[in-house]
Structure 1
Amino acid sequence: MTKSEWRKKIKSELLSMEGNDRKVLNEKIAAQLFKTELWQNSNYIGITVSRKFELDTTTVIKKAWEEGKKVCVPKCYSANKKMEFRELSSFDELENVYMDLYEPVIDRTKVIPKENIDLLIVPGLVFDKKGYRIGYGGGYYDRFLQNYQGSTLSICYSFQTAEQLPFEVFDVPVEQVITEEGRYI
């Protein structure tokens, strides 16, 4: 399948999930994440704020706050296709922007340098056994990951995994992928 076909297939599956099934799987995935050394040894966590049809990241964000970790969420700049991470200490510091994305309010948050982020939880629609991913097509994470030195992982439902995906030379795989069934890579 092409990247476009993968995106369409997985979005459809995400949109068709039942609320209770989604909740149970989210809890299992979060529990798997919290057991990892990458999570336990990280002080600064980079993570997106999920949209309604995506795997819920609010539980992960709240757990990070409970554990005294710093949470950083992306602010995207479409004019130059760049993004930066800004520290989030409350969901009140978010605003709804394009495509129903929630991003940090600039005048209420501060930029966290890339080198301060210990663990980056990289979003995507589908992931393969080598850590390659197909995201939403903007390339923001691919550019950000080019010289990122911290640890990376992704969290997703098991149906969001594949044996192998098409990838480009500039794609950077994540170190681990975590589903409700466990971890691989």
Structure 2
Amino acid sequence: MESKAQRRKKIVELSKKFPFDEKERQTDEVLNILKASPLWVSAQKIGLYMPTAIEFDLTKLFTENQEKELLIPKCLPQRQMIFAKYDPNQLVRSDFGLLEPASNLAVEPDLILVPGLIWNEQGYRIGFGGGYYDRYLSNFTGKTASVLYDFQKANFQPEAHDIPVQQLFIGEKNNEY
């Protein structure tokens, strides 16, 4: 059985080889389904993440804001995390090289789009290994979802501390790639 580290490495490699046009197609498909879902429509404060090159591309959600309050995570000491209001003019680079809000004013989201690398059928995920989201979600009472490309779904056994997302929005594979 593959370790989490081996699975992460494999998915990162697949992500790097994912054809650009197929990534664009699946991104548009998944984001359109997400934005039409009751989960998205009913949410007012939405926790997003600033995507890296190997994560699902949420960029369009930041530019197509449908009068929702967009929030992004900010890492704190002791591996804690908050969500703060997204303001493209008030971002700073974290120690991890990610863009974060300059503000320390925490805002509770209604819905969080949880990032990761791999998900199973039950919504459990393998992320980057810091545990920030699992710690945050352990006390979160709102809704959770994840958006992913077809190759990011796999079977694995979650660990005791893992917290599943409530809904997955998955791209469908185009047989041409």
TM over 0.5: yes
Inter-partner Cα distance in structure 1 for 2:126 and 2:98 = 18
Confirm or deny: 8 A CA contact 2:91 2:101 kept in the other structure.
yes
Q: State TM-score, norm by structure 2.
A: 0.90
Q: Which residue of 1 aligns with 2:153?
A: 161
Shift of 1:92: 2.2
How does the TM-score come out when normalised to structure 1?
0.87
Change (3 A) 1:30 1:95: same
1:77-121: CA deviation from partner (whole Å, max 9, x where unpaired): 2x3000000011x32222232343111113xx7321x3xx11111
Q: Distance in 1 between matches of 2:95 and 2:23?
A: 24
Any stretches of 5+ residues in structure 2 without a counterpart? none
Instruction: Identify which of 111, 125, 147 aligns with 2:117.
Output: 125
Residue of structure 2 in register with 1:105 after alignment: 102
Q: Return 41-50 or 95-104, whichever deviates more.
A: 95-104
Among 78, 81, 84, the residue aligned to 2:82: 84
1:8: how far off?
Answer: 0.6
5+ residue gaps in structure 1?
none
Distance 1:167 1:147, change over 3 A: same
CA contact 2:123–2:166 (8 Å) conserved in 1: yes
Aligned identity (percent) is 33
In 1, Cα distance between equivalents of 2:95 and 2:12: 18
Task: Give deviations 1:57-88, integer Å, cap 9, x for gaps.
Answer: 1112223x2x11001100002x3000000011
Q: Which of 154, 161, 170 in structure 1 is aligned with 2:161? A: 170
In terms of fraction of residues, the more helix-rich structure is 1
Q: Say what the alpha-carbon RMSD is for the aligned residues.
A: 1.6
Q: Distance in 1 between matches of 2:51 and 2:22?
A: 17
How far residue 46 of structure 1 moved from its aligned partner, in angstroms, is 0.5
Kindly provide the CA deviation profile for residues 97-151 of structure 1, in whole angstroms up to 9, marking residues without a partner as x. 2343111113xx7321x3xx11111000000000100000000000001010000
Query: 2:156 corresponds to which letter in structure 1?
Result: L
The SS at the match of 1:80 is helix
Aligned partners of 1:97 and 1:52: how far apart in 2? 16
